[in-house]
Amino acid sequence: GALKLGDPKLFRQQCFIDGAWVDADDGSTIEVNNPATGKTLGTVPKMGEAETRRAVEAANAALPAWRSKTAKERAQILRKWFDLMMQHQDDLAQILTLEQGKPFAEAKGEIAYGASFIEWFAEEAKRLYGDVVPGHQADKRIVVIKQPIGVVAAITPWNFPNAMITRKAGPALAAGCTIVIKPASQTPYSALAMAELAERAGIPKGVISVVTGSARAIGGELTANPIVRKLTFTGSTEIGKLLMKQCADTVKKVGMELGGNAPFIVFDDADIDAAVEGAIASKYRNAGQTCVCANRIYVQAGVYDVFAEKLAAAAAKIKVGNGMEAGVAQGPLIDEPAVQKVEEHIADAVSKGAKVVFGGKRHALGLSFFEPTILTGVTQDMAVAREETFGPVAPLFKFETEADVIAMANDTEFGLAAYFYSRDIGRVWRVAEAVEYGIVGINTGIISTEVAPFGGVKESGVGREGSKYGIDDFVEIKYLCMGGV
């Protein structure tokens, strides 16, 4: 096939449940395609409730031994998993590019980013400190301990097939939880390759399982099964709400990384070249398919024209193509519906008075390739102002005052990432405090790192991933009240 792996065993077409590689009970499968060629890469099992229940039961059986290990023992195993991911970075990146489409260099970056969560949480495992609280009565002492929450279920999307898994599995395993992972059906091979490496790293059977197949059947079982104590999800706000409802019956803890509608604000006093560079990175990375991609670019009137011109010049340098080819900076979109949404957003904007100043249509390469696109004259009544485009479209809105742009930036139910460019220190503080977002990029378009807390407010989510805060989502706090002292 298209894969040329140094270690062919990393390409797994079966699921990993309770330490064994298995097919669906009824033998059914789903096909996985390469979006850059339209060709089939292979199949994965189409599993449902029964197989998922077995994975959950295996996670439950593996829990006592895993949580009883010392933090150092767990850290050493996780460290090994991290090392193996970095040793196989090229193979993992190739699998990622072939199933997802992002350029190979970007895929390698994702593997390093993804692995960094395993490294970070291996280190953090040893620092899950509790507290000793001064007692409220003379004969009492109060101690607070942190314990793993239990069996965790993770449901992950296709836009970061590696990192959205490690960001959840890293803290879960470090804390002493066990985990059942359901990757997106478009990108299961990255998840299965990581399971293969987890096995080689010595992660005991049942501690990690990967189940592919029907999202509704697997998601239904993961949310209904009382053994699962926490659901961690990255994906759309629509599915996130549905999963929260399903989790209500058994009162599971939930971690939700949902949609965004990121404003990217360029003030008159900004370094315009830096703002253009940041906008290109934030907008066109992963072909615009990240939940922190700039979705609405607000440019102050005094610099609007020069910014638009420079952005178009920079966008013209983006080479579109198969991510395995050298020099390609933008791959295909994930599938045909993704292209249709981009087309709808452009058509809606144009019908209401926006102008296409760059790109604007499907790429000559066909399939789901799309031209990097820039729209000017964009206004708040257009669909691009309200919905996440999830594609390579940069809509430029013009604004006059700081107060106006803060109001427009906050006029959305989402609150994940926001960006702004200004060199005025007073404005930097004012705007940073006024925007209702969980993450704010100031004079930068790139904000993701394992050392900082990633997460949203409003309908963008619940909880934080990465950083010293990220492990809190996988522990319960227990308070010991000691009397009779």
Q: Which stretch binds ligand ADP (CB under 6 A): 68-76, 191-199, 236-244, 465-473?
A: 236-244
3-class DSSP state for residue 26? coil
**Is 185 or 410 the residue whose CB approaches ligand ADP more closely?**
185
Secondary structure percentages of the chain, helix, strand, coil, to 5: 45, 20, 35
Determine the size of the site formed for ligand ADP (CB under 6 A): 15
Q: Which stretch binds ligand ADP (CB under 6 A): 128-136, 192-200, 237-245, 396-404?
A: 237-245
- The distance of closest approach from Cβ of residue 243 to ligand ADP in the complex, given in angstroms and rounded to an integer, is 6
Who contacts 242 (Cβ-Cβ below 8 Å, separation ≥6)? none
Q: Which listed residue (235, 260, 332, 415) binds ligand ADP by CB under 6 A?
A: 235
| CB distance 164 to 184 below 8 Å | no
The yes or no reply on residue 185 touching ligand ADP (CB under 6 A) is: yes
Q: Which listed residue (215, 440, 442, 452) binds ligand ADP by CB under 6 A?
A: 215
CA angle 221–205–454, rounded 5-degree value? 65
The yes or no reply on residue 442 touching ligand ADP (CB under 6 A) is: no
Q: Which stretch binds ligand ADP (CB under 6 A): 78-86, 136-144, 233-241, 453-461?
A: 233-241
**Is 158 or 304 the residue whose CB approaches ligand ADP more closely?**
158
The yes or no reply on residue 239 touching ligand ADP (CB under 6 A) is: yes
| CB distance 169 to 179 below 8 Å | yes
The yes or no reply on residue 30 touching ligand ADP (CB under 6 A) is: no
Q: Which listed residue (63, 96, 149, 155) binds ligand ADP by CB under 6 A?
A: 155
Q: Which listed residue (101, 150, 157, 377) binds ligand ADP by CB under 6 A?
A: 157
3-class DSSP state for residue 123? helix
- The distance of closest approach from Cβ of residue 85 to ligand ADP in the complex, given in angstroms and rounded to an integer, is 21
**Is 182 or 285 the residue whose CB approaches ligand ADP more closely?**
182
Q: Give the separation between CA 389 and CA 130, rounded to whole angstroms.
A: 43
Q: Is 99 a catalytic site residue?
A: no
**Is 160 or 474 the residue whose CB approaches ligand ADP more closely?**
160
Residue 74 falls in which region: left (phi positive, over 0), alpha (psi -120 to 50) or beta: alpha
Catalytic residue among 196, 221, 257, 465: 257
Q: Classify residue 6 by burial, with Cβ atoms within 10 Å: 0-12, 13-18, 19+.
A: exposed
Q: Give the separation between CA 436 and CA 447, rounded to whole angstroms.
A: 16
**Is 210 or 409 the residue whose CB approaches ligand ADP more closely?**
210
The yes or no reply on residue 184 touching ligand ADP (CB under 6 A) is: yes
The yes or no reply on residue 216 touching ligand ADP (CB under 6 A) is: yes
Tell me 47's DSSP state.
B
- The distance of closest approach from Cβ of residue 441 to ligand ADP in the complex, given in angstroms and rounded to an integer, is 22
The span from the first CA to the last CA of the chain, in angstroms, equals: 70
The yes or no reply on residue 219 touching ligand ADP (CB under 6 A) is: yes
Tokens of 249: 């019956």
Tell me 159's DSSP state.
S
**Is 245 or 423 the residue whose CB approaches ligand ADP more closely?**
245
The yes or no reply on residue 242 touching ligand ADP (CB under 6 A) is: yes
Task: Give every strand in the sheet of 208-210, ordered side by side.
Answer: 20-22, 15-17, 208-210, 178-182, 151-155, 228-234, 253-257, 461-462
| CB distance 407 to 296 below 8 Å | no
- The distance of closest approach from Cβ of residue 184 to ligand ADP in the complex, given in angstroms and rounded to an integer, is 4
**Is 92 or 333 the residue whose CB approaches ligand ADP more closely?**
333
Q: Which of 197, 205, 175, 19 is nearest to 111 (CA)?
A: 197
Task: Give the residue closest to ligand ADP by C-beta.
Answer: 219
The pattern of x and - marking residues 368 through 387 that bind ligand ADP according to CB under 6 A reads --------------------
**Is 190 or 300 the residue whose CB approaches ligand ADP more closely?**
190
Neighbours of 40 (CB within 10 A): 12
H helices within 235-364, ranges in order?
Answer: 237-248, 272-284, 304-315, 336-351
3-class DSSP state for residue 230? strand
Q: Which stretch binds ligand ADP (CB under 6 A): 150-158, 169-177, 366-374, 453-461?
A: 150-158
- The distance of closest approach from Cβ of residue 213 to ligand ADP in the complex, given in angstroms and rounded to an integer, is 9
3-class DSSP state for residue 279? helix
Q: Which stretch binds ligand ADP (CB under 6 A): 31-39, 149-157, 394-402, 455-463?
A: 149-157
Tokens of 50: 């029964």
Q: Which stretch binds ligand ADP (CB under 6 A): 9-17, 101-109, 232-240, 301-309?
A: 232-240
| CB distance 202 to 125 below 8 Å | no
Q: Give the separation between CA 346 and CA 343, rounded to whole angstroms.
A: 5
- The distance of closest approach from Cβ of residue 355 to ligand ADP in the complex, given in angstroms and rounded to an integer, is 29
Q: Give the separation between CA 42 and CA 358, rounded to whole angstroms.
A: 37
**Is 235 or 377 the residue whose CB approaches ligand ADP more closely?**
235
Q: Give the separation between CA 471 and CA 251, rounded to whole angstroms.
A: 20
Active-site residues, by number, are 257
What residues line the site for ligand ADP (CB under 6 A)?
155-158, 182, 184-185, 215-216, 219, 235-236, 239, 242-243
